[in-house]
Each structure stands twice: as C-alpha cells, then as structure tokens.
Structure 1
Amino acid sequence: MNASHPLLPSEEWREVFLRRFKNFRKNAVQPTLFAPLPASLGIMPRIRERDHWWAFLTGVPMSEWDAAKKPKPYQKPWRGQYHGYGADALPIPNAEGSSQILSYSLEDGRVFSTSNSEMWRVTTDGVELTSAMNATASLPTPSGTPAPPDRPEDTSDQNAPASIYPEPTPKHMQLLFHGDALHLLMYFTHWIILHLERGSAPSPHVLTDTHSRWIFALLSRVRDDVSADEMSTLRSLARACMSLIEERKRATSNVASSSQGKAVGLFPMNESGCWMIITLVIGIWGQRDLWQDAEAMLRRLPA
C-alpha cells in the first residue's frame, strides 16, 4: 500500500531499508575465523531468566543478578562435621595447605600454636585463628581486598553513572539463535507493555535507543520461515512499538514546556527505531496489514 499518512515511512525508504537489512543479515551469519570469543561476552543470563536479562541489558553488574557470582557469607563450621576425627579433634590447616589433626580439651580455653606463624584459641564453638604472621600477614581483608588484575580500581567520577548499557555485538549474536532471539523479543514486548501501563508514573522498564538496537540485532537472527506462534510474537512486538509511538506523540503534544520535557524523559526510545522495527516485521515476514494499523494509530492522534 502507498503511505497515505504523511508520518508513515515512505515506500522508497522502506525498500532501501529492507534491502540493506537483508544484506546485513547475510553478513552477520558469516563465520569469523580465528577470532576468539572474549570471555566477558560469554557471560549472559540464561534465556528463560527474564528479570536477569533486564538487569543485564540495563548494565547491572553481573555480581548483582548472577547468584553463582554473588559472594557467599562466611559460615563457621559446625563442630559435628568433624566427627570422623573424634569428639575432641579438629583439622587445622598448616602453611603448606594441608591439614593436621589437633586434639584439645574444651574446658581449658588455652591459646596454642600449630606452626611458627599461626596462633589458635580454643572456644566452645571450636578453634579460631587469633593471629598469623609471615605469608598470611599479607592476605587481603574483607575491607581491603585489592582489585583483581583484570579489574583495576575504579578511579572514575563518583557522580558518573554506575553502569553503561551493553551494546549488541556480532559476538553476542553468535551466541543467540532463532529460538533464543524470539524469546528475547517476547521479553521486549512485555517490557514495553509494562512501561506503557505505568502512564505518567515512573517506570522501572524504560526502553532506550540501546534496546532498540538489541531488537534490531535480534530480528536478524530470526529465520524467514516462522510458525504461527512465532509470527504472533513478531506482530505483538510491532504493535507494542506502535503504541510506544502513539504514547510518545500524545505526551509531547502538550504545549507546556515543563510537561513536554517530562514526557520526553518518559519515552527515551527513539521514534525512528520503533519505525525500523515495525518495517522489519511487516516487510521481512509479510505482515502488510499492519500498515493499516499504523495508519489508524496516527490518525487517532490530535491534529
């Protein structure tokens, strides 16, 4: 159909954009020889962990959303776990890293030494290290652990943003396949809907231009032949982007500059990015009837 509404993308633009996207998709699937995958790029959430993906896509450090990487609190060993050594015996690590068995009496509470560098105290809970010299004296403490070699100390401005949204890269896309991409696109539709349901209230799911680039890249991983359910996922994504355009235009139509500034902040995802996503769903997967929905959406807007 011809673009009868002036705000719809023109036929000429659509043809050029779709042709370039198809070329991009062909180039993106080409294998890159002798290009090792950086270890940091391999760390992404599991596909079905939706909340972890939102944290990942908004730059939250992995230590905050990956339970396997969270530091575990120290727990004092239960005395009963050493029953194999006898009721009054505990294994004491020595300087070489192995353990020696020490028998003691709980009643005397004495301090004793297991080597020239360690002092231990008998308590009712077991034994505890009271002092260590030489090699152990240089070990980091919980309040002064040095940064690992690959993560230097942060000397940036304390007022700077705590994190940067990760951009989609070819290496990321090589780890995501057809089903993975559709699952993540379904998440983006969900986040857009949650954001729109908040109206003028602050939303925890604010879509940015970085997210629109992720959607673009994920669409390049979706095959041309899709099932009915997968097509429904793509159409829902396109309609969610239409709703985002409509709400943004309604919010920014307020003539009051203060309200306008607030509205732009609520919808930071660029409108052109939304149109690109809509055009891809319609043009690549043949859903041309959605142009009628897009035109109807634009006609509902105030003049």
Structure 2
Amino acid sequence: MRVLTWNVKGAFPYQAEEDIEAQFEYLNDLTQKPDLLLLNEVNQYRRELIRDLVTDTLGYDGVVDTLSWANELRESEIPPHHDIGHTNGNLTAVRDSSCIEHSPLELFDEVYDDEDIKHLTTHYPEKILVTTCELAGVEIEVWNVRAVPGGMKGEEKIKIFETVFQRIINGEEKLRILAGDFNSPDEELPDGQAVFHIDDKDPKIRDRWRNAALNILKGLGHVGMVDVFRYQWGYGDVDTLDESFGNSRFDHIIASEELTPTDCYYDAESLDYSDHAALIADFKI
C-alpha cells in the first residue's frame, strides 16, 4: 500500500489553473500511483477543477474533501468566521468510491462522556478531514490534517493539535494513519528532539504550545503509532531528503506500526510544483 501526502500551496484565493494542472501532471507521471492520496491546502475556489483532475486525470473515484465546509464558513456572518478567510481545505482520495467513507467529527459524542473537553475546539474544522478507508483489504481510519501556521493564527494551531490528539488517544483501538502538514517542528536535533521557535510567544501559552505539538509528533506511540519517516531512517545523519519545507520537516505520516511501514521519503521533484515536498510511504499490510 502506498500513501502520498502533499501540501499543494492553495492558500491564496486565486491560485492559477495552470499551476494546479502542473501539480496533477506530476502526480499522474509517478511511476507508482498512491493507493491513498492526501492533499492539504486545496483551494476551495478551484474545487470543481481539482475534483475533476482527481477523478478524470488520476482515476480516483472515491473523493472526500472539506471544501464545501470551508466555503460555508467563509460566507458565514457568525463571529469569528466572518473574519476568517477559510480559503482552503483538505482532500482524501482512493481508487474505489465504495472504499471510503467520510467520518466527520461530532461536536459531542458518547465516547467522550468522561472527558472534560467534549467539543471540536478549533475555528478551522476544515483542516481536519477524517475518513474510514478500506485499503488492501484492511479498514483504516485516515486523518488528513493541516495545522495552520502558528505565527499567523496563534492558538488555532494548538487547538487543531489538541483536537486531533484527544480524539485519537481516547478513541477505540483501530488501525490509523495521520498525515499532513503540521507546520512543526522548526528543527530536529540528531537525537530526535523536536525544537520549537516559540520564545516570542506569550509565556502563558508556550508550555501548552510545546505540549500540543509534542503530543502529535511523539505522543501517539501510546496507541501504537509511529513517525514513519523516522521509523524507516532513524535519527542522526539521515542519508536521504529529510526536509519538506525550507529547512524543516513539516510534513509527516504517523501510522499504526501494525501496518508495517517499509519505505518513506520526501520526493524532491514535487518541490518544482509547490513550496512543500510530497511525502510518500509504503506499507506491507
């Protein structure tokens, strides 16, 4: 099973159609097409074009996205959404339409009866797309997530991390893949320590910020999930491309170890079409 996650740089309202088409030419030219395609920053103004390219050019009949939700929130006059752009969302695709089901997060759920926090805390719910996918004969809960930039959105980045972590860690046991652009960490030391540049943040929020990011990046081992890239390559000097955005590794695939990861790499060619590298991982289920 092959998984590809990619931030396609669709945060700006008027993303050029030719740029989008070039991205899909890159995807279509891949020697091995992914069984599970996860796209972040999919421009909601280009929803019809993008969905047509996913189905007609790439051949994925099972497509779920959060772009309609982003559009509804953008047009809302209800604070704070009247003052939020909501220009992009996420898209998840598989070959067979019968093998994917949208699993939207409920604001309240009986699973969380004993929890203090029972609701979706972020004002950017379109950044969290949860589906149940049947791949290689196995049912997998797939989380397609993009954390908004902390420098621009502040606490909203923390809320996305907290929402995702709480739901996964407190959910029932199942096979999972969590992937996307987490905009974290800013640096990684040779021993694997994650570093966050948050000295300029309000002291009241620094610990919460650091803990929320570390929970996503390191804390899901409690439910049997591993950072697939580091699982494959370890730490120290990594003899492969280990940067997905600038000098940082912002894009991740964190998956149940039971899915047996066998390879994981950032594709340098994809940087010709976006400011993020596509991350590709193979699993032997």
| TM-score bucket of the superposed structures, by smaller chain | under 0.3
Is the helix fraction higher in 1 or 2?
Answer: 1
Is the strand fraction higher in 1 or 2?
Answer: 2
Report which structure shows greater RCO (CA 8 Å, sep ≥6): 2
Larger radius of gyration, structure 1 or 2? 1
**TM-score under structure 1 normalisation?**
0.27
**TM-score under structure 2 normalisation?**
0.28
